[in-house]
Amino acid sequence: MRVSNWTATGRMGGRMKGVDLLNRRVVTRGIELGRVVDVILDEAAERPIGLDVRCRDGEHRFLPLATIRIGEEDVEVDSPLMLLETDQLDFYRSRGRAMRSTR
């Protein structure tokens, strides 16, 4: 399988690859909600659609890419309500591809 080569623009304008997001803290107003454990890509494994976040309660949740801001060290969201429940994560995983599985 091939590695996805997508990049994102961070807050400071720098470019980063999906692997750069792995293990980053997901925070809202400085409070850690969880950590990024995978990037969910579209079906063709070319563009990211969201993040698999392992939350502090041990559950995995889906975080849509459109809801995040990429900081220098963290992934920021306006509200913890942006993290969708496990069944939504399963929905996006079944219709997309996990970045870790494309490497």
Write out pLDDT tens, residues 62-98. Answer: 999 999 999 989 999 999 999 999 888 899 889 888 8
Tell me if 92 sits within 8 A of 49, measured CB to CB: yes
CA-CA-CA-CA torsion for 33, 38, 42, 48, nearest 10 degrees? Answer: 60
Segment 1-48, tens digit of pLDDT: 233 444 454 443 445 567 789 999 999 999 999 999 999 998 887 788
What's the predicted TM-score (pTM) here? 0.80
Domain layout of the chain by residue ranges: 7-102
Closest CA to 43 of 88, 7, 95, 89: 95
- Give the fold, CATH level 3, of 7-102: Photosynthetic Reaction Center; Chain H, domain 2 (3.90.50)
